[in-house]
Amino acid sequence: MNPMLWISGLTTPFAIGAAAMSDGPMQYFFAVLAFVPIAYSIRAYDFWMKKDPDRLQSERYLIERQIVGRIGYKSDDGVVEAEVSSQPILIENPKLDAGDVQ
């Protein structure tokens, strides 16, 4: 979505200026050229808003969301952190007999 916004921001002012300086069919061409990137950006935003709203979020928001998903969960009171023990749970390795292959 961001590249389309850049294209809209760069082409639209030039197309509007070219439409103002030209006349006849070229004026209509530049007017359409100014309108198309904006219309496409609005359409793309609407599409992703309905299909997958997370694609419209910032990278920072998505990283924070993943952290909350791994460490805790959200409730009505806010984020509830999962219990993490201070000592890891260790499992002893089984003793291997002389004929066992590792």
Q: Where along the chain do its domains lie? A: 2-81
* Nearest of 41, 45, 21 to residue 31 by alpha carbon: 21
Q: Report pLDDT for 64.
A: 75
Percent helix, strand and coil across the chain, each rounded to 5? 65, 10, 30
pLDDT tens per residue across span 41-90: 888 888 877 887 776 677 787 777 777 666 655 566 665 555 655 666 66
Instruction: Give the DSSP H/E element, type plus range, for residue 72.
Output: strand 72-75
Whether this model's pTM surpasses 0.75 = no
